[in-house]
Structure 1
Amino acid sequence: MKENFNREFKKIDPSKSVFYEAYDSFIEEKVKRREWKPSTIKRYNNIKNHLVQFDKSTKYNLTFSNINEKFYTDFTDYCYTTSDHGTNTFARNIGLFKTFMFWAIKEKYTYNDAFRGFKKPDRVITQEVALNLDQVKTIFEFDTKSKSLEKVRDVFVFQCLTGLRFGELRLINNRTIRDGVLLIKEDKDVTKDAREIPLFDITKYILKKYDNLLPLITNQKQNELIKKVFKSAEFDFDVEYTRNKNKQKEVIVKPFYDRISTHSARRTFITIMKKKGIADKTIMKMTGHRDLKTFNSYYKVDTEAKVDAINLAFGSMELPKLKKA
Structure 2
Amino acid sequence: MFYLKKRTGEDKPNIPIYMRITMGGRRTEWFTGRHCTESEWDGGAKRIKGTKEYARSINSWLDLLYSKAHSCRQELYATGKAFSPMHIKKMLVGEELEPPKMLSHAWDYHTNQIAGLLGKGFTPATLQKYKSTYRVLKKFLLLKTQSEDIRLDDIGFQLVRDFDYYLKADYGVKINTAVQMVKKLRTIMKVANEIGWAKRNPFVAYRAKKEEVFREFLTTEELRDLTIKKVKKRLNLTRDLFLFSCYTGLSYADIIKLKSGDILKGDDGGIWLQTHRVKNNNRVRLPLLAPALKLINHYKDFPRYLDEDFLLPKISNGRANFYLKEIARSMGWTKWLTFHCARHTFATTVTLTNGVPIETVGQMLGHKNIRSTQIYARVTDTKVSVDMKSLKKKHAGQELVLTTED
Conserved 8 A contact 1:183-1:195 = yes
Matched ranges for 1:167-246 at <5 A: 167-179=253-265, 180-190=271-281, 192-193=282-283, 195-200=285-290, 202-211=291-300, 213-235=311-333
User: CA 1:59 to 1:94, structure 2 compared with 1: closer, same or farther past 3 Å?
Assistant: same
* Pairs within 5 Å for 1:1-325: 5-6=98-99, 18-32=102-116, 36-58=122-144, 60-61=146-147, 62-64=149-151, 65-111=153-199, 113=200, 115-145=202-232, 147-179=233-265, 180-190=271-281, 192-193=282-283, 195-200=285-290, 202-211=291-300, 213-235=311-333, 255=334, 257=335, 259-272=336-349, 273-310=351-388, 312-314=390-392, 317=396
Q: Tell whether the 8 Å contact from 1:87 to 1:121 is kept in structure 2 after alignment.
A: no
Identical-pair percentage: 20
Whole-Å Cα distance in 2 between the matches of residues 308 and 33 of structure 1? 47
Q: Aligned pair in 2 of structure 1 residues 84, 165: CA closer, same or farther (>3 Å)?
A: same
Q: Please give the secondary structure, in 2, of the residue aligned with 1:72.
A: helix
Quote the residue 1:244 is aligned against. none
Shift of residue 195 of structure 1? 1.3
**Paired amino acid for 1:282:** T
In structure 2, what is the Cα distance between the partners aligned to 1:4 and 1:47? Answer: 31
If you compute each CA radius of gyration, which structure gives the higher value, 1 or 2?
Answer: 2
- CA shift, 1:308, in A, is 4.8
Higher-RCO chain (CA-CA 8 Å, sequence separation at least 6): 1
Q: 1:186 to 1:36 in 2, by over 3 A?
A: closer
Q: How far is the alpha carbon of 1:172 from its aligned partner?
A: 1.5
Tell me the alpha carbon deviations over residues 11-67 of structure 1, each in whole angstroms, 9 at most, x when there is no partner.
Answer: xxxxxxx43244223312343355633222122112111202223455553412542
SS of 2:376's partner is coil
Q: Shift of the alpha carbon at 1:215?
A: 2.9
Task: Check conservation: 2:274, 2:284, Cα contact below 8 A.
Answer: yes
Any conservation in 1 of the 2:245–2:343 contact (CA below 8 Å)?
Answer: yes
TM-score (norm 1): 0.76
SS of 1:127's equivalent in the other structure is coil
- 1: distance between equivalents of 2:163 and 2:318? 27
Q: Distance in 1 between matches of 2:178 and 2:293?
A: 41
How far does residue 4 in structure 1 lie from its aligned partner after superposition?
10
1:15 alignment partner in structure 2: none
1:128 deviates by 0.6
Residue 79 (structure 1) shift: 0.8
Count of aligned pairs: 291
Deviations 1:59-109 (CA, angstroms, capped at 9, x unpaired): 553412542233223211111123333333233322221221132334554
Q: Which amino acid aligns with 1:128?
A: R
- The 2-side partners of 1:308 and 1:6 are apart by 67
State the shift of 1:120 in Å: 3.0
Give the structure with the higher percent helix: 1
